[in-house]
Amino acid sequence: MAVCSELEPKEVFAFFEEIAGIPRPSHHEEKISAYLQRFAKERGLEHYADEKHNVIIIKEASAGYENEPPIILQGHMDMVTEKTADCQKDMTKEGLDLYIDGDWLRAKGTTLGADDGVALAYALALLDSPTLRHPRLEFICTVSEETDMGGAHAVDVSMLKGNRMLNLDSDEEGIALAGCAGGGDADITLPVRRAAVRGEHIRLAATGLTGGHSGMEIGKGRASAALLLARVLTGLREDYAFRLVSLEGGAKYNAITREASAEVVLADSVSTSAFREAVKAEEAVLRREYAATDPSLSLTAAIADSEEAALTEDSTKQVLGLMEALPYGVQRMSADIDGLVETSVNLGITKLEADKLTLSYSVRSSIATAFQAVIDKLELVSSCFGATALVHSTYPAWEYVRESAFRDEAAAIYRELFGKELSVQAIHAGLECGILSGKIKNLDAVSIGPDMKDIHTPEERLNIPSTKRVYDFVVKIIEHKSK
């Protein structure tokens, strides 16, 4: 029996479970795109797909709604594919293993993909319904949102007739998003040199960190595993001579690094046991500092069976110095919206190869000039260490507008349905609304979604009762007739 067969709304969770069985990491959306196209073809719905695998599905208005303005439904088909260290699943080829944990739906050892599988499940349930009363529905489903938003940049929306858009890529019930940060990625590359050296090889590992979404969780003060290692090694070099051999951590620009490892080779004069004891002492310091945000933090040092050549003394200094000098975390809080991060920078991927170090950053800001200021700082600091910075995958902010008829309509429906006010907010994470606002004239957009926790981590979970309440809300929005 299907895991979700008893969950409500049945039609939504049935589609969600089908989607969860299809591997869909960013830039590998061929199978999920084909599934969406097959769905539309089997139901005789107008649909479009492009070479990037974006899909648009259109369902004409039901009887009595022909004169109502169309509604655009929007979400993305790719997901962040993070997993625990002991999970053997190949997320490029295998689907997810769902399970129910009380009121939450989760996946064993991996991200759940509710971000943004919920949008797909909602939209397909709506498009499939024989009883829903609705205006013309236009579903835009994009690829690579989690990496470069390339799908939204490329998608052709010329066939659309609507300018009211319901984005379904939010993760907190009762909140309507009306603005988001813009941003982009930066790859910093530092050439390194290696030389043979004799000595004991030690492997350090920072594990058990909480991690999280670099937009939603960057303001919570969670530690970056790669930067913790850089900090620890920088401090240890004051008393222990060693050279760096390897350093790596993270897999996604937009995820706070949960695990990282490094290998060093100690000088002959350094006591192995003393070095390992010093690492344990550093672990105690870090566990105190991050007790609230990263309670499972672990820092270990073990003898490594390795003969890999180490970096030179100068390259070791440059690598650690560059990582320590580059900005990280919250750069500025919003002066207009309490508690909102305005500008941030996240080190998502660290990779030390034979001849170079690559540091991959995600930069976000709701203010274009503040975003550029961080980029300028990354470039300036990099140049001081002999490194270069390549900026790419930029996307615009979705600027908040005070006047929104569609948002006001949604708020009134929410008040009538639940007897309380819909909270209108902006977020630090990126949404595709900003890009689509440049493609659809006079776009009036609002973003909603059910409660999710710890997205972009293996702890990701979707609240089951919330999924039903938000779906009921979406149905009411669609069935509402303008006066």
Residue 459, helix vs strand vs coil: coil
Q: Which residues pair with 354 in a beta bridge?
A: none
**In percent, how much of the chain has pLDDT > 70?**
100
Q: Quote the CA–CA distance of 226 and 215 in Å, as a whole number.
A: 18
Structure confidence by residue, pLDDT tens digits, 123-170: 999 999 999 999 999 999 999 999 889 999 999 999 999 999 999 999
Q: Which amino acid is at 223?
A: A
Tokens of 338: 């309490």
Least confident of 22-26, 158-162, 338-342, 469-473: 338-342
Q: CA-CA distances (angstroms) from residue 369 to 165, 305, 465?
A: 27, 49, 41
Structure confidence by residue, pLDDT tens digits, 316-326: 999 999 999 99
Q: Quote the CA–CA distance of 322 and 91 in Å, as a whole number.
A: 33
The catalytic residue among 29, 145, 173, 185 is 145
The total of other beta-carbon atoms located within 10 Å of residue 6's CB is 10
Alpha-carbon dihedral angle through residues 5, 11, 12, 17, given to the nearest 10 degrees: 40
78 is catalytic: yes
User: Are 278 and 237 in contact, with CB atoms under 8 Å apart?
Assistant: no
Q: Which amino acid is at 384?
A: C
pLDDT of residue 69: 97
pLDDT of residue 282: 98
Q: Give the model's confidence band at 307: pLDDT under 50 very low, under 70 low, under 90 confident, else very high.
A: confident
Domain ranges of the chain: 10-181+397-479, 184-395
What is the mean predicted confidence (pLDDT) over 409-418? 97
What is the mean predicted confidence (pLDDT) over 23-33? 97
Taking each helix axis from N to C end, the angle separating 10-20 and 30-42, rounded to the nearest 10 degrees, works out to 140
What is the mean predicted confidence (pLDDT) over 21-45? 98
Q: Give the model's confidence band at 483: pLDDT under 50 very low, under 70 low, under 90 confident, else very high.
A: low
pLDDT of residue 1: 64
CATH class for the domain made up of 10-181+397-479? alpha beta
Q: Give the model's confidence band at 192: pLDDT under 50 very low, under 70 low, under 90 confident, else very high.
A: very high
Q: Quote the CA–CA distance of 363 and 375 in Å, as a whole number.
A: 8
Residue 171: name the closest of 457, 480, 477 by CA.
Answer: 457
Q: Quote the CA–CA distance of 445 and 176 in Å, as a whole number.
A: 10
* Phi, psi dihedrals of residue 443, rounded to the nearest 5°: -60, 130
Structure confidence by residue, pLDDT tens digits, 51-63: 999 999 999 999 9
Cis peptide before 314 (omega within 30 of 0): no
**CATH of the domain spanning 184-395:** 3.30.70.360
The catalytic residue among 17, 29, 78, 116 is 78
- Quick check: 376 pLDDT over 70? yes
